[in-house]
Chains A and B, each alone.
Chain A
């Protein structure tokens, strides 16, 4: 029974996230954008209290909020249509990123590493790593989008793996207390030998080398982490220890499947950030005497109203594609195609909308008097991390055309 409204059972959750955005994120948004997280400043104190609150919210009731909501839990499943934690997580992320993307990325225990753990960890591991705040460490200086080019090594030594290599662009890599590291157990065996390891902070041989200065999401720290003979317990490896053929769901393919769950989250971030800009823009247009009329053709309205209508339409497409991909995840349907469609549309629309709003708002939008310029800077990363625009298009194209990565490079 076709219905594209979100269920009432999530209203409470959405409202909570909205209240947090309005009352906590927005008031400190500018402050933490100016105090660069590249300076060692420690945790954002306002967020610690909030994280505790969110832990409490997650512990009961239906509808997960954060990164852990992406676990495809098969327990207690009722037949028929489901709206579950994939959807509720993304809805709350949208609301939270309407507040501030960078602060959401800095939320304790809400890292993408947590989403990875939730996606592929065994029940035992989930129990053991449950309280961690885990960052995701994939990218290396020599590669970005090509995740199969991992050169960080993990060599088995008794009950441990020994990690060597350098990881860059680790979100919250300085503040988090664990990192999910992608490393190869046998470089000659290709992507089937790439495994992910949970490495807790304080493990000897793991060092945060430096933090990046960035265009946006400045409140979020972005770390370079070096592993030098870093010994990690073998049971910290996520998924099976076998070196698999391509297509096995627990190793590299499994790690890649994490993206099916995290890409909708990032798409949701872009959707939330763009909505913030649109809402602000609507107010500014109102002050300028421009009323947007949905019934009359755009071409008989002002140019600004016409642009707003186009932005609103593009936003809606991104929003609905994002919801579709989470709905499919909740209903155990393969959603790689839809997750990439959502990420591609939301990523580019997020940049288009936020930058267009700056243009329309003029110096008011370009100056630091409003948050529009910040959202325009923040949104750019959302078209890059968790797979760039171009990678999403590659994935969508391969799926639609039935092509392998060897055929369509």
Chain B
């Protein structure tokens, strides 16, 4: 393996492969392992499970307004200020409490079962209003101004509890934010009422595609114009709650340029299959397979402008950065007592610079990434340009988020590698911040 390590199968390889097939069979028969095998086949089919999209409710336009409602850009922020306002303090504290008391204890099982308890999803909607906080009051929501920083603080606080569950909770919020920011009066009247009540549908903004070097500005999923609307074709990857979602916002290339389309999951040609991943498993990620899916002309969001699409990508990168900051803080707060209590060679391991400096660097990089994320969010809600700042928040959390996740495991040594401690889950979750596009649109 002195360099590129690729060899063809030779005679020995052929023999080994055959032996492997035979021995697996004989082992099963000799030790009566038929049941585990059947179970493995069952698990295999479950991940391979493919079904038509969920279809529960009918979305219909009610009380349509003459023009769409938009939250106003935030104004009057003259001074540099890191203090959240009173409303933000309240909602952040409530979210943090919810995360610590409800999400963290549920995280292990939610990760194992690839599902977030419906009770937690409901509470995030009813008690925290995650789907309505950014929706203007005249549309039944709680906001009047853009709320990107509030969204950032909420995402961060939720991910402090658990990133996977946070993603499951925030996925519908991504759709309600997209409708608020870019929906026309018909789209808003048709879909938003469902997101401001207590019975919020599962929904997600689906952008990511299963391809190496994925670029959200060069999509393989296509939208083709028809007489009455568009036909969508392609595959979307790692869509949260895909199997139960009732509404998607799908990124697809229209005339070679990326755009967003509303898609009800019951539409003919929509299929979903489970796609569990390295992390954020509680979000019940799945693939969304679109084959000759017909949507009406009114499905195109934001007029299909390049700026709408770019803003969606940028806002979701801020969202993933915020999630990574929350999980990164969870790592920091977890390793501090551990390294202070764990002794080796007669004293706490934190008395050693090799350990202490790792903790210091977690603190330094986390704070830097958090400030960059907040700057991007604050610029976005003030109507300033924020492409650069969103990219920076993304880069910092991709780079240092993973480093923090890795060092979190490293600081616990072998104990960090086993599931008695949450750091191995955070390691898996934090990789998502570099991979995922869409979903958490703030």
Chain A residues with a Cβ under 8 A of chain B: 1-8, 81-83, 87, 294-300, 309-310, 312-314, 316-318, 320-321, 323-324, 327, 337-338, 341, 344-345, 390, 393-394, 396-398, 400-403, 407-409
Contacts and interface: CB of A to CB of B under 8 A. Distances in A.
B379 A300 contact: no
B106 interface: no
10 contacts: A1-B81, A1-B84, A2-B82, A4-B82, A87-B80, A316-B396, A390-B357, A397-B350, A401-B356, A403-B356
Contacts of A2: 77, 81-85, 88, 149, 374, 377-378
Contact of A401 (B84, B350, B387, B388): B350
B142 to A, nearest CB: 18
Q: Which 3 A-B pairs have the closest CB atoms?
A: A317-B368, A397-B356, A320-B371
B395 interface: yes
Given A2-B81, A2-B378, A87-B80, A296 B217 contact: yes
A65 to B, nearest CB: 17
Contacts of B81: 1-3, 81, 327
Nearest to A310: B395
B126 interface: no
A204 to B, nearest CB: 44
A5 B390 CA distance: 15
B360 to A, nearest CB: 4
Nearest to B352: A408
A297 B213 contact: yes
B364 A312 contact: no
Contacts of A344: 360, 364
B378 A295 contact: no
A402 B336 CA distance: 9
A309 B339 CA distance: 34
Given A390-B357, A397-B357, 19 more contacts: A1-B76, A1-B77, A1-B83, A2-B149, A5-B375, A5-B379, A7-B79, A81-B79, A83-B80, A300-B213, A310-B399, A313-B392, A321-B371, A324-B371, A345-B364, A393-B357, A401-B359, A408-B350, A408-B353
Contacts of B390: 294
Contacts of A338: 367
Contacts of B348: 407
Given A2-B149, A397-B359, A295 B391 contact: yes
B250 interface: no
Nearest to B88: A2
Chain B binding surface, main DSSP class: helix
Interface in B340-367: 340, 348, 350-351, 353, 356-357, 359-361, 363-365, 367
B232 interface: no
B141 to A, nearest CB: 20
Contact of A294 (B77, B364, B375, B391): B391
B80 A6 contact: yes
A87 B80 CA distance: 9
A324 B372 CA distance: 11
A321 B149 CA distance: 18
Contacts of B216: 297
Contacts of A327: 80-82
Contact of B374 (A4, A294, A296, A312): A4
A3 B369 contact: no
Given A2-B82, A81-B81, A323-B80, A317 B359 contact: no
A401 B336 contact: yes
Contacts of B218: 300
B351 A396 contact: no
Contacts of B77: 1-3, 5
Contacts of A87: 80
B42 interface: no
A299 B214 CA distance: 9
A5 B80 contact: yes
A297 B360 contact: no
A109 B377 CA distance: 40
Nearest to B314: A295
Chain B contact residues (Cβ within 8 angstroms of A): what range?
A: 35 or more
Nearest to B83: A81
B340 A402 contact: yes
A244 to B, nearest CB: 27
Contacts of A320: 368, 371-372, 375
Nearest to A320: B371
Contacts of A341: 363-364, 367-368
Nearest to B381: A2
Contacts of B368: 316-318, 320-321, 341, 345
Contacts of B336: 400-401
B58 to A, nearest CB: 37
A316 B372 CA distance: 7
Give the residue among B357, B368, B391, B399 with the most A Cβ atoms within 10 A: B368
Contacts of B79: 3, 7, 81-83
A8 B371 CA distance: 20
Contacts of B357: 390, 393-394, 397
Contacts of A300: 213, 215, 218
Contacts of A83: 79-80
Contacts of B351: 403, 407-409
A321 B359 CA distance: 17
Contacts of A407: 348, 351
B255 interface: no
Interface in B11-47: none
B277 interface: no
A259 to B, nearest CB: 16
A43 B388 CA distance: 42
B395 to A, nearest CB: 4
A4 B388 contact: no
B310 interface: yes
B315 to A, nearest CB: 12
A310 to B, nearest CB: 6
Given A2-B149, A338-B367, A345-B368, A295 B310 contact: yes
Given A2-B88, A81-B83, A297 B214 contact: yes
A275 B144 CA distance: 38
Nearest to A395: B360
Contact of A396 (B310, B313, B363, B379): B363
Give the residue among B82, B216, B353 with the most A Cβ atoms within 10 A: B82
Nearest to B361: A393
A408 B357 CA distance: 10
A313 B396 contact: yes
A403 B310 CA distance: 46
Contacts of A337: 363
A316 to B, nearest CB: 5
A396 B360 contact: yes
Contacts of B340: 401-403
Contacts of A310: 395, 399
A403 B215 contact: no
A7 B353 contact: no
Contacts of B10: none
Contacts of A4: 80, 82, 371, 374-375, 378-379
B78 interface: yes
Nearest to A398: B356
Contacts of A318: 368
Interface in B206-255: 213-218
A224 B379 CA distance: 48
A6 B82 CA distance: 12
B225 to A, nearest CB: 25
A7 B356 contact: no
Contacts of A313: 372, 391-392, 395-396, 399
